[in-house]
Chain A
Amino acid sequence: MRMEKAKILVTGANGFLGTRLVEFLALAYRADVRALVRDLGRSVRLCRLPVEILLGDVRDERAIERALDGCSIVIHCASGIDATKPHASSTFLGTEIVARAAHLKKVQRFVHISSAAVYGSPGEVEVNESYPLRRRWKRDVYGAAKIAGEQFVHELFLKGLCATIIQPTIIYGPYSAEWSTHPLQVLKTNDYVLPKGGVLSPVYVDDVVRAIVLAAAKPESVGNRYIVSSSDSIEWSYFYQAYTRMGTIGRAFAVTDDEYSRLVRQRKAKSNFAALARLVVQQPEIRKAAAANSVLVWSYNLAKRCLSAEHLSQLRAGHLRGASAPTSRPAETEQSAAFLPGPGLWQLYKSPSRYSIEKAKRELGYQAQIDLKMGMELTAEWARWSRLI
């Protein structure tokens, strides 16, 4: 199928992957693109391109019906998770609505962007498309929604929808909030703590775009799912060190699980102490009671030692009371603190699983063309321009 002759609907078109995809479709393939976005205010990168920008939510059946009008290819990139209402999220409900509408409209090709997260964390193995779908951890809302999305699409494929599923691993590159902006923002001033041994298969955003276009163009892709990644697996600390080489102050270093747990405990204790110290400093009654209570005297004296004079006087004056009271240590000490990933992110970083792209190579003719060195060079250029570094 030729992209140039098709009217293509891209959902989630203002996202990191969606925008780059639209850019390629419009500029490299001169395709007739309809970019569906939920928020026009956050779609400026699309405004440079000769495409139709349509406002609509993938969870709105009528909006999707309008969006699909005249389109022969649908590339469903929209994704959004709401942990409080997982079944109403874009990833879950949105996928169901878009896939069903595409089926009813009998579109010629439906490419669903899922994630390699659907394979969970199966351990030290090379994951391929025959692995069972499962969550990475108990409360893996993202993985669960992506699995459900794939199931909807598969059910509709059995009923005749010409669907292909793309499962990228970790996508990085310019504008990636999670895997480029986040590490750069942290590492700009702080160290980043990572687990020893965890690996990832990073894939530069343009390679994912290439896989999507191949999947849309090749009829033999219908009914299949494809893992899309680079050819190599590397340790997370190595990946983040590529960002530190861009000139950040922070360093990326790996620690054991025990060291991580100790650092988390230390951080919690400090934050509990800071809360107690604030209470003692701010409340005159407690300060009075401190005279008769050795623990409070100890806390107060410690607070005086740990907090800056300016901060202490602000606390005494009540300037930082209530909602405006600081929830972390003062900025000058915060800057030197290392970033500790939360438990979910730690689990992700720890995964030793590798991913096979043999099926995509064999059936789609996919080949990752941008290696880590080149991908990071492009990302560094963008980061400097964006003034992230």
Chain B
Amino acid sequence: MPARQVFLPISSTSDAPVRIAIVGCGSVVERFHLPASTFVPELSVEFLVDRELRRATTLAALYHVPNVAADFREIIGKVDAAIIALPHNLNAEVSRELLNTGISVLVEKPMAFNIAEGQHLLAATKHSRALLNVGYTRRFGYGVQFIRRALRENLIGRITGFSVEDGYPFDWKSAASEFRLDKIGGGGVLLDLGSHVLDMVMFWFGALTVQSALHDSLGAVEVNAFAQLQTPLGVRGTVELSWERLLRNSAIIEGTTGRLEVEWYSNPATAYLSGSMLRGTVAPEGSNQLVQTFDTMFVEQLREWVRVIRGRSAASVLATGGDAAIVLELVEACRSQGKIWQPPWSSTEREKLSE
């Protein structure tokens, strides 16, 4: 473990931009974090870090980032905070080391590969003045926030059930050739896509428990998963995830006096109340933007992160390490309690019998 370094926290009254590093220069950084950073003058990207230095250098030139490094330890003492966007299995280790040196971290989801890693990471925050936040960007969707507010204000009465579907044929063009969807790399659909979805549902309802689950891992990772969940108030609902097929990609919440629906790929949310339809959003004040893209969600996330690490406000939307630890527990519960589902067209029993 590297020697603990003294770190001066950013003054809450300082107007100097927060100096940050971005560790990992994969697709999510190129497509979202770096473009988003240009819309947040309160922060200044000082370092790009990637094991493939050429990749970091190329992006640094595009975004006028003054420093690049191949080893994340080079940023210690030179920045106030860091965005960690590494392959899933590396996120926790790097985040922990940086937190130990006083650098606040916004780590891409999932913050860790399993519960144990997550707990180690949380433990690091207890001994550090630095903060740990997690990139559950979907929370910043206006429609997602509308649903949260609608539920708090009992817009549709008592909640009777929910159904969430998220799925599309996976075709992520990873910039890193070593990125893998496997047990030791990227994990399965529950850890990757499911982290976002389960966090979103918990953002609305609070901690969930798994009633039953199905997944299709046959000795590696799951590509399709289904879970029946229960909220703290005893409401049951379902979450279906797929990397193979295009699903509804929406959440439907049923209540005694109406129904709420949100499609996170095309905000805002819609409320159906006793025969009338109401389209709702919680766009920032002054914004007349109803249709939101992922790009703007990343901008909003960075803005709140800067406010939080400057100590000017507590996280209201931004996920904390504690939130992410609960998500990890839910993912593991879905896996461990889940039964293996093998569809009839995927059976190999016919062949064995016919030999």
Taking Cβ atoms with an 8 Å cutoff, the residues of A that contact B are 23-24, 26-28, 40-42, 44-45, 47-51, 53, 55, 173-174, 206, 209-210, 213, 369-370, 378-379, 381-382, 385-387
For residue B96, give the distance in angstroms from its CB to the closest CB of chain A. 27
- Chain A residue numbers with a CB within 8 Å of B173 are 41
A252 to B285, CA, bound (A): 55
Interface centre among A40, A41, A48, A174 (most CB of B within 10 A): A48
Contact A45/B182 with A24-B348, A381-B345 known, Cβ cut-off 8 Å: no
The answer on a CB contact under 8 Å between A23 and B346 is: yes
Q: A44-B223, A49-B218 are in contact. List 13 more A-B contacts (CB 8 A).
A: A23-B348, A26-B219, A42-B171, A44-B243, A45-B244, A48-B217, A49-B220, A53-B182, A210-B351, A213-B351, A370-B350, A378-B344, A385-B343
The answer on a CB contact under 8 Å between A27 and B217 is: no
- Which residue of chain A lies nearest to B352 when distances are taken between CB atoms in the complex? A28
Interface centre among A28, A44, A385, A386 (most CB of B within 10 A): A44
The answer on a CB contact under 8 Å between A55 and B219 is: no
The answer on a CB contact under 8 Å between A210 and B247 is: no
The answer on a CB contact under 8 Å between B180 and A387 is: no
A50 to B221, CA, bound (A): 9
Which residue of the partner chain, among B180, B218, B243, contacts A53 with CB atoms under 8 Å?
B180
A77 to B220, CA, bound (A): 23
> What are 23 inter-chain pairs, A to B, with CB distance below 8 A?
A23-B346, A23-B348, A27-B218, A27-B348, A28-B348, A28-B351, A40-B177, A42-B171, A44-B169, A44-B181, A45-B223, A48-B218, A48-B219, A48-B220, A48-B223, A53-B182, A55-B177, A206-B350, A379-B345, A385-B343, A386-B245, A387-B245, A387-B247
Closest 6 CB pairs of A and B: A50-B219, A28-B348, A378-B345, A174-B345, A47-B181, A44-B170
A378 to B347, CA, bound (A): 10
Contact A47/B223 with A24-B351, A379-B345, A381-B345 known, Cβ cut-off 8 Å: yes
The answer on a CB contact under 8 Å between B343 and A382 is: yes
Which residue of the partner chain, among A42, A48, A173, contacts B216 with CB atoms under 8 Å?
A48
- Chain B residue numbers with a CB within 8 Å of A370 are 350
The answer on a CB contact under 8 Å between A382 and B345 is: yes
Interface of chain B residues 302 through 355 with chain A (CB within 8 A): 343-346, 348-352, 354
The answer on a CB contact under 8 Å between A40 and B180 is: yes
Interface centre among A27, A369, A370 (most CB of B within 10 A): A27
The answer on a CB contact under 8 Å between A41 and B174 is: yes
The yes or no answer to B277 lying at the interface (CB within 8 A) is no
- Which residue of chain A lies nearest to B349 when distances are taken between CB atoms in the complex? A28
A206 to B347, CA, bound (A): 10
- Chain A residue numbers with a CB within 8 Å of B172 are 41
The answer on a CB contact under 8 Å between B188 and A47 is: yes
A72 to B171, CA, bound (A): 32
A78 to B348, CA, bound (A): 22
The yes or no answer to B80 lying at the interface (CB within 8 A) is no
The yes or no answer to B199 lying at the interface (CB within 8 A) is no
A45 to B242, CA, bound (A): 11
- Chain B residue numbers with a CB within 8 Å of A26 are 218-219
A28 to B182, CA, bound (A): 21
The answer on a CB contact under 8 Å between A50 and B220 is: yes
- Chain A residue numbers with a CB within 8 Å of B221 are 47-48
- Chain B residue numbers with a CB within 8 Å of A24 are 348, 351
For residue A293, give the distance in angstroms from its CB to the closest CB of chain B. 44
A51 to B217, CA, bound (A): 12
The yes or no answer to B184 lying at the interface (CB within 8 A) is no
The yes or no answer to B53 lying at the interface (CB within 8 A) is no
- Chain B residue numbers with a CB within 8 Å of A47 are 181-182, 188, 220-221, 223
A176 to B350, CA, bound (A): 20
- Chain B residue numbers with a CB within 8 Å of A210 are 351, 354
Contact A41/B218 with A24-B348, A47-B182 known, Cβ cut-off 8 Å: no
The answer on a CB contact under 8 Å between A50 and B218 is: yes
Interface of chain B residues 169 through 198 with chain A (CB within 8 A): 169-174, 177, 179-182, 188
For residue A42, give the distance in angstroms from its CB to the closest CB of chain B. 6
The yes or no answer to B246 lying at the interface (CB within 8 A) is yes
- Chain A residue numbers with a CB within 8 Å of B218 are 26-27, 48-50
The answer on a CB contact under 8 Å between B344 and A381 is: yes
For residue A1, give the distance in angstroms from its CB to the closest CB of chain B. 14
The yes or no answer to B222 lying at the interface (CB within 8 A) is yes
- Chain A residue numbers with a CB within 8 Å of B180 are 40, 53
For residue B214, give the distance in angstroms from its CB to the closest CB of chain A. 13
- Which residue of chain A lies nearest to B27 when distances are taken between CB atoms in the complex? A41
- Chain A residue numbers with a CB within 8 Å of B344 are 378, 381
A51 to B218, CA, bound (A): 10
